[in-house]
Amino acid sequence: MLDARRDLSALTIEMGGLPVATIGDSDTLRIGELVFAVGNPLGLVGALAVGIVHATGKQWVGADVRLAPGNSGGMLADAEGRVVGINSMIANNLAFAIPSNAVKRFLARDTRPRLGIKIRALPVTQDGSDMLGLLVFEVQSGSVAEKSGLMLGDAIVGTRERLFANSNDLATALEDAAASNLEKLELSLIRGGKKIHWPVTFQINKPEMEAK
């Protein structure tokens, strides 16, 4: 599995008994928090660099950690040793890492539930507010969407927690649900001129793991 945009790939190691790092929640990172980059810069195995967080977000974590060739792909850890990012590049004198929660969503792609709909992004207005709507123009027979009662003409504008800002946010919401092992997601819809919250129930097909 590969994400060329972020230069991420997933590998499977068929070996048991290996030590594993604890994964942290990158959404809880705060500006000024202490972080540590671990890697093999310039061939120096297991080198540690220390810095503080300067920027956080869904896409990147920026810190004034000194990175060098060989650090890319290494972990960015918080003060408790939890992995909060994967070091990726240097820009504007800051080190940028892919947030751990973004990596979780990437790894959840194979288990992401499929709604079975075709959508088209368009602007909608509700109660005087403009928002992005994802218009459902096809519902596949026997799909999760059909079984959950989604209908042609529904405009999906977000989840119960937040509105969508772009057409990729629906896929991100499904990836988050898979990463959290949820089997239900409440979507916010515009149907018949009214905004409603509509539960969509799905079954996440988790890959079977075999001990080697």
The answer on 99 and 13 residing in a single domain is yes
The answer on 96 and 166 residing in a single domain is no
The answer on 181 and 162 residing in a single domain is yes
Q: Of 43-52, 104-113, 165-174, which one has max mean pLDDT?
A: 43-52
**Over 60: is that where the pLDDT of 125 sits?**
yes
The answer on 147 and 82 residing in a single domain is no
pLDDT for position 14: 76
Can you list the pairs that 178-186 forms with residues at least 24 positions away whose Cβ atoms lie under 8 Å?
178/108, 178/109, 178/111, 178/112, 178/113, 178/204, 179/101, 179/104, 179/105, 179/107, 179/108, 185/159, 186/159, 186/160
Boundary (domain end) residue, out of 107, 127, 162: 107
pLDDT for position 109: 65
Per the structure, the count of domains in the chain is: 2
Boundary (domain end) residue, out of 107, 141, 172: 107
Residue keyed to tokens 């590049």: 89
Q: Is residue 209 part of a domain?
A: no
pLDDT for position 111: 59
- Contacts of residue 54, Cβ cutoff 8 Å, sequence gap at least 6: 31, 62, 63, 64, 94
- Contacts of residue 180, Cβ cutoff 8 Å, sequence gap at least 6: none
If you average pLDDT over every residue of the chain, what do you get? 86
The answer on 137 and 180 residing in a single domain is yes
Give the residue numbers spanning the domain of 194. 112-201
pTM over 0.75: no
pLDDT for position 35: 97
pLDDT tens-digit map of 136-160: 999 999 999 999 999 999 999 999 8
pLDDT tens-digit map of 9-54: 888 777 778 888 899 999 999 999 999 999 998 888 889 999 999 9
pLDDT for position 114: 79
Rounded to whole angstroms, the Cα distance separating 211 from 10 reads 18
Q: Is residue 162 part of a domain?
A: yes
The predicted model gives 101-127 an average pLDDT of 83
The answer on 116 and 169 residing in a single domain is yes
The answer on 45 and 78 residing in a single domain is yes
Query: Which of 21-25, 103-107, 121-125 is predicted with the least confidence, judged by mean pLDDT?
Result: 103-107
**Over 70: is that where the pLDDT of 206 sits?**
no
The predicted model gives 60-77 an average pLDDT of 92
Output 186 or 211, whichever has higher pLDDT.
Answer: 186
